[in-house]
Amino acid sequence: MTLFGRNSILERLKSDPKSVKKVITSGTFDDGEILALVKSRGIPVKQVSDKDLLKMRNSERVQGVVAEVDPFEYASFEELIRSENEKLSFILLDGVTDPQNLGAIIRIAACFGSFGIVIPERDACEVNETALNIAAGGENYVPICRINNLSNALIHAKKGGYWIAGAVVEGGEDVSKVSFPFPICIVLGSEGKGIHYGIGKQIELKVTLPMRGAALSFNVAMASAIFCYEIARQRQAEKK
């Protein structure tokens, strides 16, 4: 896989340098922190012209540096559910196909901390180079699981003591008033179809984002930020 952009590469060098196989820079690249980490880790470096670098990754976000890295490794959902350590809160994405939304959700989850993400193998985007670029290094701090069946995953989560919440457009409890039970998994559906019926049957708590303004809607990444904030706030209050 190819990483590009300073933040993505810097965070990978800090957290998982063994996964970085080569770093390619433009002749004008001058980020001392990245160059120092590359040197200290003994990672091969190749310098090319700006034009040649853009041939590798035609994007304005390249920022003068590209890294060749190992393929992304998914975490085991069942192992995380059974973990004796602090229980993560999980975001399960049902039918999210846009890698930019996935990348944004990864970054959001990393910023709030103590979240994991679960994506299905079918009818959804995987963690690809676009998602990693948008995540800006967040994938190094959030376990991401890819599973065959979301409904079965929710059943396993319940057996592991988790509560299941689902984000619905209407008919759910106001997110600002609901008291989340922990540990928790929250299911977010696609903007067009929402949560599939079979998955919805596993939901124990329906939650809605009240929108009293224009008759529009949040996209899934925006919604995830609000839900993550409220879950993290309540989780922290519970510890006190």
The rounded distance, in Å, linking the Cα atoms of 25 and 114 is 34
**177 DSSP assignment:** T
Across the beta sheet with 163-167, what order do the strands follow? 144-147, 115-120, 89-94, 184-189, 163-167, 205-208, 173-174
The rounded distance, in Å, linking the Cα atoms of 180 and 164 is 10
- CATH classification (class only), 2-69: alpha beta
Nearest-10 Cα torsion for 23, 29, 35, 39: 60
Phi-psi region of 144 (alpha: psi -120 to 50; beta: other; left: phi over 0): beta
Whole-number CA gyration radius for the chain: 19
Of the chain, the percentage scoring pLDDT greater than 70 comes to 98
**pLDDT over 70 (residue 215):** no
**222 DSSP assignment:** H
Q: Are strands 89-94 and 65-69 parallel, antiparallel or unpaired?
A: unpaired
Residue 164 in contact with residue 187, Cβ under 8 Å?
A: yes
Instruction: Tell me the domain boundaries of the chain.
Output: 2-69, 77-239
Give tens-digit pLDDT for 136-186.
Answer: 999 999 999 999 999 999 999 999 999 999 999 888 999 999 999 999 999
Give tens-digit pLDDT for 58-105.
Answer: 666 789 999 999 999 999 999 999 988 889 999 999 999 999 999 999
pTM of the model: 0.94
**pLDDT over 90 (residue 41):** yes
**Looking at residue 223, what is its pLDDT?**
94
**Looking at residue 59, what is its pLDDT?**
67
**Looking at residue 200, what is its pLDDT?**
93
Same fold, 2-69 and 77-239: no
The CATH number, out of the four listed (1.10.1740.10, 3.40.50.460, 3.40.1280.10, 3.40.50.1110), of the domain defined by the range 77-239: 3.40.1280.10
